[in-house]
Structure 1
Amino acid sequence: MPQINLTITGTGSYLPATVLLSTDIDDRMGWERGECEARCGIAARHVAMPDETTAFMGAEAARRAMEMAGCKPADLDMILGACGVSGQPGPPAAALVQERLGLAGSGIPAFDVNATCLGFLQALDLAATHVQCGRVRRVLVFSSDTASVGLDWNRPEAAAIYGDGAAAVVVEAGGRGAVLAHDFQTYAHGHETGMRAAGDARNDPIRGIAPGEGRFHMEGCKAFKLASRYLPRFLQRLLKKADVGLNGIGCVIPHQASAQALQHATRNLWLPPERVVDIFSRAGNQLAASIPTALDHAVRTRRLVRGDTALLMGTSAGISLGGTLVRF
């Protein structure tokens, strides 16, 4: 498919004020000081308080993105939510963010896209499609996640790495930017390596759910091994679609799944390590918010500047692989 001419005009992120240090986790688990960081590669992560809801964090990130873009809420044509785990089954997080932005009576379409940790990439692709069709000119895409509420501390190596936060982008038709290529693949035979089963007819939240079903379950090593079978060919195909080589990528923005996953992906996919944005040690795995938070970090620290080509990529529960090449 031809590239889609649109520009990311603004990025923004929000991190809760409360910080959980790895030494706090050491104390909780009865480990020696430094053991959590040595095991998990994480020094700290942010934890949302009760008033820092999915909608609150999403709206804060959105305001920062709009400030960079130089636009107001009334200038938006669409709002897309892309949360890994929404704050509630309904209404969609996008509608709640619309209200917080003062647009409750606007009629601006606001709905969610669910692709777990890759929701942001799928929502960004949907926004680009609407722009390409001429239906909209300016779209807000946000991801907001509070993974901390569903952790299973009987599995501390997994529970220790999840952080809370939100991030957003404003994309507009035209400009010098572009979506050069996008791809998404799902291999459902690996769906049990990452899941939170509560919420369907088997686990009715009104009647009560089975013990442990409301907690995150992740088999990180198994998930990574499975994804690694497909990632090299996936990346090769994505680069071929865009007619871009690895040397032509100015910035690589991966999902911050874990310290080990970032290290393995950088090495096994021959990614230039100096161009890979890694904020995992200070933010952890923020589910769908990971990629846009790393994107905002790259923009504000000038790791990513206008005219650069950026590769946004990762894996998610499903198991799915996703990647988007953009000219920023």
Structure 2
Amino acid sequence: MRFARITGTGSYLPAQRLSNQQMAERLAARGLETSDEWIVERTGIRARHFAADDQNASDLAVEAARQALQAAGVAATEIDLIIVATSTPDMVFPSTACIVQRKLGVHGCPAFDVQAVCSGFVYGLSVADAMIRSGGVRKALVIGAEVFSRILDFSDRTTCVLFGDGAGAVVLEAGDTPGILASELHADGRHVDILCTPGTVSGGQVLGDPLLKMDGQAVFKLAVGVLESVARAVLDKAQRQAEDIDWLIPHQANIRIMQSTAKKLRLPMDKVVVTVDEHGNTSAASIPLALDHAVRGGRIRPGDTVMLEGVGGGFTWGAVLLDL
């Protein structure tokens, strides 16, 4: 049997780091009041990174991809599949993945984007795993990259302080030893309105509202429930138990959601990788960013069992269990 295993990780954060205090000062100039204490208490976020005006999602993605390729010892020209998970693409079309492909100097292999918002990386990883298992792909690059700062409403203090920009990437390679053990993906379009950016382009004009909208309480309630259920479903598929998890890497949106998920799975917080405090919510980039942070920090090591899980607009959610 063929299996897919992560052989390299990488990540990239834009140079501009904004602390809560700096965000508070920006909002104060607009007549809005917030504070470091208010943000930390509700979210656990202390800082986030914003891309420069001349940086697009593909630029962040390429930097993360190069790190992952170097870690795996794989040349870009060896890659035969590129998947980019993003909700903030460079263009309407072509895909950001095709732009990344050009910038990496890769030609001919399939390249496409996955749009599942904050669950995007888990969706992309699951698709790449299936393509490797089918025999059509041997080495895949899966990237989550976002420039959410471009779609934030800075007149809404409840949402603009939550998000940041960044990218994370992994190299997946075919092998005889199991790496990705099981995955589970879901969506429920009945909840489209609770987290969305309801704008589009028509005739050269923006129709609707191109800025992010969120019903925070509704998102929180749904997220807590589905993250536990999807984690248990993946464990059942892999014939593993929660106590077999060495590390839980949930989507980095809100520390309270992460704490609740860990509690429901009876995992101590010292088994949860937390980067939301420094990165904010980087949507599809948050899971691979956190994974690379923990790998390069020496916490996650070869042989560890890792649960990745995401939840986002759509409403989408999913999880992947893997042995690193």
Q: TM-score range by the shorter chain?
A: over 0.9
Moved runs in structure 1, 4+ residues, more than 6 A?
none
State which of 199, 216, 219 in structure 1 corresponds to 2:212.
216
User: Residue by residue, what CA displacement relative to the aligned partner does 1:218-248 show, whole Å, maximum 9, x if unpaired?
Assistant: 1122112123344433322221111111110
User: What residue identity is the alignment partner of 1:242?
Assistant: A
Alpha-carbon distance between aligned partners in 1 of 2:22 and 2:216, rounded to the nearest angstrom: 23
Partner of 1:107: 108
Contact (CA 8 Å) 2:199, 2:206: kept in 1 or not? Answer: no
What's the CA shift string for 1:128-178, capped at 9, x where partnerless?
111111111101111110000111123212110101001111010016441
Residue 323 to residue 154, structure 1, CA distance change in 2 (3 Å): same
Out of 307, 311, 324, the residue aligned to residue 307 of structure 2 is 311
- TM-score (normalised: structure 2): 0.93
- The alpha-carbon deviation at position 205 of structure 1 amounts to 6.4
| Counterpart residue number, 2:286 | 290
| Residue number in structure 1 paired with 2:45 | 42
Aligned ranges for residues 268-287 of structure 1 at < 5 Å?
Answer: 268-287=264-283
Alignment partner of 1:51 out of 41, 51, 54: 54
User: For residues 125 and 295 of structure 1, do their structure 2 counterparts lie closer, same or farther at Cα, with a shift above 3 Å needed?
Assistant: same
Contact 1:84 1:143 in 2 (8 A): no
Which whole-Å CA distance do the structure 2 matches of 1:231 and 1:294 have between them?
17
| Equivalent position to 2:74, from 71, 76, 79 | 71
* 1:240 and 2:241 correspond: no
1:194 aligned residue:
195
CA RMSD across the alignment: 1.8
Where does 1:67-146 land on structure 2 (aligned, <5 Å)?
67-103=70-106, 106-146=107-147
Report the alpha carbon displacement of residue 33 of structure 1 after superposing the two structures with TM.
5.2
One-letter amino acid matched to 2:219: A
| 2:321 alignment partner, SS class | strand
Ranges in structure 2 where 5+ consecutive residues have no aligned partner: none
Go from structure 1 to structure 2 and tell me whether the alpha carbon gap of 1:162 and 1:102 turns closer, same or farther (over 3 Å shift). same
The structure where strand makes up a greater share of residues is 2
Q: Structure 1 residues 32 and 218, CA, compared in 2 at 3 Å: closer, same or farther?
A: closer
The count of aligned residue pairs is 319
C-alpha separation in 2, matches of 1:278 and 1:65: 20
Q: 1:133 to 1:209 in 2, by over 3 A?
A: same
What residue ranges of structure 1 are gaps of 5+ in the alignment?
none
SS at match of 1:165: strand
- Cα deviations across residues 172-205 of structure 1 (Å, max 9, x unaligned)? 0016441111001112222211000111xxx626
**SS state at 2:207 partner:** coil
Contact in 1 for aligned 2:180/2:322 (Cα 8 Å): yes
